[in-house]
Structure 1
Amino acid sequence: MSQITVIYGSTTGTTQSAAERIAQKLNARCVDIASAKAEDLQTPVLVLGTSTWGFGDLQDDWMSAEKLLQDADLSGKKTAFFGFGDQSGFGDTFVDAMGILCQTALEKGAILIGKTSTEGYSYGASRAEIDGEFCGLALDDANQPEMTDARIDAWTEQLLKEIG
C-alpha cells in the first residue's frame, strides 16, 4: 500500500485531472472524496485537493464529506493541499476552499507541507494565504492554464523532498 494518498473533490474534472497527475508523480493512491472512507485518511502523507466555488466555497463533494475530515485524527500526518480558483473573476476568494481544507486539517493535528509562493498570481485576498505564502499549490485554469503542468511538476518535486 502506498504511503501517500491524494484525495480530491472535482465537479468539472479539472481537479480530478490534476489529482491524477499529482498521484502519478508521487506514486500515490488517488481517491475521489465522494467515495472516500475513513481508512483513506490513514496513510502517513495526505494530499488534499479541491476547487473553489461561488464566493469562496468548498467543492460540493468536500462539503458532503465534512464529517469524514472532522472525525479524522491527522496528528503527525504530513499533509499538502492543492486548489483551483479564478484569480481574475473571484480575486477576493482565490483558492479559499484550499484554505478551508488546510485550516480544518491543521485543527485535526496535521503537519503542513507544500507551501508555495504567491508570486506570479494577481488576486485580492485568499484564505489559503498564510504568512505571505499559499498553504499549498494554487492553480488557475481559467487564467493561467499554460502554467498548470509546470506548477504541478515543480510542486511534486518539492513535496518529495519535504516528505523525505
Structure 2
Amino acid sequence: MTEHKRKIGLFYGSSTCYTQMSGEKIAEQLGADTVDIYNIADEPLSTALFYRYLIFGIPTWDYGELQEDWEDVWEELDELNLDGITVALYGQGDQEGYPEWFLDAMGFLYHKLKQRGAQIVGFWPVTGYTFEGSKALTEDKQHFVGLALDDETQFELSSKRIEHWCKQLKDDFNY
C-alpha cells in the first residue's frame, strides 16, 4: 500500500474561510500526520484517487448553490472512479438566513459521489438544527448525509460537533 493510501485526503472549497477552518479542525482531530488537506482551488480533484479514505468539505452558498470553487471543478467529479473509496462529507450552511436550502450543496455532492461509486459514511443526526428544507438529508430524513455545520448561527457548537464526528469517522475509516 502506498503511503497516500494509508492517509486520509481532505478536500475543501471555501469562500469565507469557515469550511477551511472546519477542515483544519477535522485534520487536527484525526491527527495531522494522518490527513493531507487540500484546497480544491489549488489542487486537482484527481489527487483524490491517491487515497482510500476521503473527506470533502463544501459550503452552501446563497439559495442552495455550489460554492464557486466547487462549481469550477464540478465536471471533474464525473471523471473520478470512486469504487472502493470511502468518503465522508461535511458542509457549512446558514439555517436561519437560508432555511429552505440548508446544506443543499452537500446533498448535491453526496449524489454526485454516489454515482461515481463512493461508499459514503459519516451521516449526522438532524437533532439540534432548525431549518425548513435540505437536499442533504438521508432518505428517512433523520440524518444529514455528512457533518452539518452552521458557523453563522451555531459557531459555538462546531468544535464539539467536529470532535464527535471525528470519533465516528475513526470507526467508519477503520483507523
TM range (shorter): over 0.9
SS state at 1:25 partner: helix
User: Within 1, Cα distance between the matches of 2:79 and 2:20?
Assistant: 24
TM-score (norm 1): 0.96
Q: Which residue of 2 aligns with 1:87?
A: 95
Per-residue deviation, 1:40: 2.9
TM-score (norm 2): 0.90
User: Within 2, Cα distance between the matches of 1:20 and 1:31?
Assistant: 10
Runs of 4 or more off by more than 4 Å in structure 1? Answer: none
After superposition, give the CA deviation of every residue in 1:25-70 in whole Å (9 maximum; x if it has no partner): 2221000011222123330011000111111011100000112211
Amino acid of the residue matched to residue 9 of structure 1? G
Would you say 1:162 and 2:166 are equivalent positions? Answer: no
SS state at 1:121 partner: coil
Name whichever of 60-69 and 113-122 sits farther off: 60-69
Q: CA RMSD, aligned part only?
A: 1.0
The share of aligned pairs that are identical, in percent, is 37
Q: Which residue of 1 aligns with 2:75?
A: 67
Q: Which residue of 2 aligns with 1:20?
A: 24
Amino acid of the residue matched to residue 11 of structure 2? I
Gaps of 5+ in 1: none
Q: Which residue of 1 aligns with 2:162?
A: 152
Q: Which residue of 2 aligns with 1:10?
A: 14
Q: Which residue of 1 aligns with 2:42?
A: 35
User: Within 1, Cα distance between the matches of 2:154 and 2:112?
Assistant: 28
After superposition, give the CA deviation of every residue in 1:81-137 in whole Å (9 maximum; x if it has no partner): 000001111011001111111110001000010001000001011000012210000
SS state at 1:66 partner: helix
* Mapped contact 2:60–2:93 kept (Cα < 8 A): yes
Per-residue deviation, 1:8: 0.1
- How many residues in Structure 1 have an aligned counterpart in Structure 2? 164
* Mapped contact 1:5–1:41 kept (Cα < 8 A): no
